Copies of this chain bind each other. A is one copy, B any other.
């Protein structure tokens, strides 16, 4: 079956973000349990910090937060946790921003397509086989074998555009 999911849509400014966070953590716990991996306190804390919003978060911002409760934290603390979470598909890196964003669908590890609003900074994630198939088709024409993909689209989300038109 072909995927065509808006994995993570733009949320209205008013949405109950606590639920997003709680759900993400419980998904992560489940995932690690099933895979026999350890969601250690540091890893979980970093994941929570990444999920503080639907905007990509910077590694050193995470570090600053970590230090508030654990002064022993250092860059490797954060980057190791992020590496683990990236590896498991629990977060994605937005390359064009050097920042990290949570992903609620670690199961089948994927690379999504990201839509990033210039105004509010929020990100929507798509996981769309039509895009992937098209890229595949294009690649095939010159004998290229795809193994990793990065699609990051910037622009303006509906909510921000409507705000501006008022």
Q: How many copies does the complex hold?
A: 2
B152 and A147 contact, CB distance less than 8 A: no
Asked if A59 is an interface residue, CB under 8 A from chain B, the answer is no
In the docked arrangement, what's the CA distance between A51 and B93, Å?
29
In the docked arrangement, what's the CA distance between A145 and B115, Å?
10
Asked if A74 is an interface residue, CB under 8 A from chain B, the answer is no
Number of A residues, CB within 8 Å of B = 37
| A141, closest chain B residue (CB) | B6
Given the known A-B contacts A95-B95, A95-B96, are A158 and B135 also in contact in the complex, defined by CB atoms under 8 Å? no
Residues on the B chain within 8 Å of A135, using CB: 113, 131, 151, 153
Interface residues in chain A, defined as those with a beta carbon under 8 Å from any beta carbon in chain B: 6, 9-10, 95-96, 113, 115, 117-118, 124, 126, 128, 130-131, 134-135, 138-139, 141-158, 161
Give 6 A-B pairs besides A113-B135, A144-B156 with Cβ atoms closer than 8 angstroms: A124-B144, A130-B134, A139-B153, A146-B154, A148-B153, A149-B152
Pick 14 A–B contacts, CB within 8 A, sort by A: A124-B142, A124-B144, A128-B138, A131-B138, A142-B157, A142-B158, A143-B161, A144-B157, A145-B156, A145-B161, A147-B156, A148-B155, A150-B153, A150-B154
